[in-house]
């Protein structure tokens, strides 16, 4: 992403693809309504005929109540579909627990073999991505259903990776969960999206998507 880019980041998960499609669908409806209202306003401004005795018109009132309801229906149906699909767990193969701290993340893998590590931001400005590079990356296999579990040890945090379409609050004393499936190998970055203190900007997230065999070899180290 660059500051000159006006579009959403490329989608690397089914959830993010659905969010991009929904964004395009909603923007199509909004632009159509804007064009229609602009045309009606232009017609009213340039219209020389007026009817000062028009106090009510039940048919007009009915249509300007029914039409917005239909528009909201066409927006609400795909929105609810995406919402429920993001919450659904489809036989996850791997569970990763992410715990937010002031100001770093810790991760736990506990399905087959327990593995735990902490992830801090790196400060080497010559070689690393500024405010995004970490010392210990999360590793996850692509084309595998993953369950993400979130919690916090102190204050509210929010675990977010925009390219994967995942954003979930980490709440102290509570476990939140979300599903994730990465479609391609790569390096995906995000940051805490909940203001959690003075160093809120210095707790990035970096996830590396690798092959399943490489992931098994890494988890057994």
- What's 32's domain CATH number? 1.10.287.90
Confidence (pLDDT) at 3:
61
Which residues form the domain of 117? 94-220
- The predicted pLDDT at position 98 comes to 92
For position 9, what pLDDT does the model report?
A: 79
Q: Are residues 134 and 154 in the same domain?
A: yes
Inform me whether the pLDDT recorded for 38 exceeds 90. yes
Q: Identify whether residues 144 and 190 lie together within a single domain.
A: yes
d(CA 71, CA 26): 10
Q: Does residue 90 have a pLDDT over 90?
A: no
Residue 180 has a pLDDT of 87
Q: What is the mean pLDDT of residues 63-82?
A: 90
Residue 3 falls within a domain, yes or no? no
Residue 174 has pLDDT above 60, yes or no: yes
Q: State whether 45 and 146 are in the same domain.
A: no
Q: Do residues 191 and 100 share a domain?
A: yes
Q: Please tell me the pTM assigned to this model.
A: 0.78
**Number of folded domains in the chain?**
2
Residue 5 belongs to a domain: no
Is the pLDDT assigned to residue 107 strictly greater than 90?
Answer: yes
Report the CATH number that the domain containing residue 135 is assigned in CATH: 2.60.40.420
Judgement on whether residues 102 and 126 belong to the same structural domain of the protein:
yes
pLDDT tier for residue 48 given thresholds of 50, 70 and 90: confident
Confidence of residue 5 (pLDDT cuts 50, 70, 90): low
- Mean pLDDT across the stretch 159-188? 90
When pLDDT is cut at 50, 70 and 90, the band that residue 4 belongs to is: low
* Residues 101 and 169 both lie in one domain: yes
What pLDDT score was predicted for residue 100? 92
In a domain, 1, yes or no: no
Report d(CA 221, CA 211) in Å as an integer.
16
Say if residue 127 is in the same domain as residue 212.
yes
Is there a single domain that holds both residue 128 and residue 30?
no
Burial per residue of 127-166, b for 16 or more beta-carbon CB atoms within 10 angstroms, e otherwise? eeeeeebbeebbbbbbeeebbbbbbbeebebbbbbbbbbb
């Amino acid at each position: 992403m660059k500051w000159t880019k006006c579009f959403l980041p490329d989608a690397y998960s089914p959830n993010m693809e659905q969010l991009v499609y929904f964004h395009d669908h909603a923007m199509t409806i909004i632009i159509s309504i804007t064009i229609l209202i602009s045309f009606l306003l232009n017609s009213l401004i340039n219209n020389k005929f007026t009817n000062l005795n028009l106090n009510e018109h039940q048919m007009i009132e009915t249509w300007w109540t029914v039409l917005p309801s239909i528009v909201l229906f066409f927006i609400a149906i795909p929105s609810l579909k995406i919402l429920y699909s993001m919450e659904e767990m489809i036989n996850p193969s791997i569970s990763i627990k992410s715990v937010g701290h002031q100001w770093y993340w810790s991760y736990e893998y506990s399905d087959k073999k327990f593995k735990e590590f902490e992830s801090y931001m790196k400060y080497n400005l010559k070689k690393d991505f500024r405010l995004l590079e970490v010392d210990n990356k999360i590793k996850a296999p692509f084309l595998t259903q993953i369950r993400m579990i979130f919690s916090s040890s102190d204050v509210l945090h929010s675990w977010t990776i925009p390219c994967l379409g995942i954003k979930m609050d980490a709440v102290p004393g509570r476990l939140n969960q979300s599903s994730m499936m990465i479609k391609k190998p790569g390096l995906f970055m995000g940051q805490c999206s909940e203001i959690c203190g003075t160093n809120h900007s210095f707790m990035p997230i970096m996830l590396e998507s690798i092959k399943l065999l490489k992931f098994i070899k890494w988890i057994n180290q």
